[in-house]
Structure 1
Amino acid sequence: MMKPITPEMAKRQSMVSVTSPYLRTETDMLEKAVAQFVGCNIALVETGHGIEIWRVKSEVKEVKNGN
């Protein structure tokens, strides 16, 4: 599993959250969610409320636009 980074670090890399926070006890669910993003540029971000999956903002925009 990847090591979580801070929200500030993710924002500096132009990333945005794409999930709700997962609690540290929900590792199985988090691993399944991460598997859904194979081939995507993601980061695990420790928010203080749990761990979120973040993606590069431009990639999220492409998906929403159907490109």
Structure 2
Amino acid sequence: MTDVVDADELLRRIRVARDWAAEREAGTGGLSGTDGSAGTPAADIDRVVFSVVREVLDEIINPGTHSRQQ
């Protein structure tokens, strides 16, 4: 990736990635590495991973608006 992008394009790309992660988390975008069966261990792991990715991207878009859990 050698394209130079401005801040608006970067934000657009982050939002697209966040929306994609939200779809995957909800199970509407298929599940990687599984047969798509809900409730399987791999599907549960995928859901958690995409949830974390979505939360990180949300924090980039709206810094400081999310609670920190410890």
TM above 0.5? no
Pick the TM interval, shorter chain. Answer: under 0.3
**With structure 1 as the length reference, what TM-score do the two structures score?**
0.25
The answer to which structure has the higher helix fraction is 2
Larger Rg: 2
Q: Which has the higher contact order (CA 8 A, sep 6+)?
A: 1
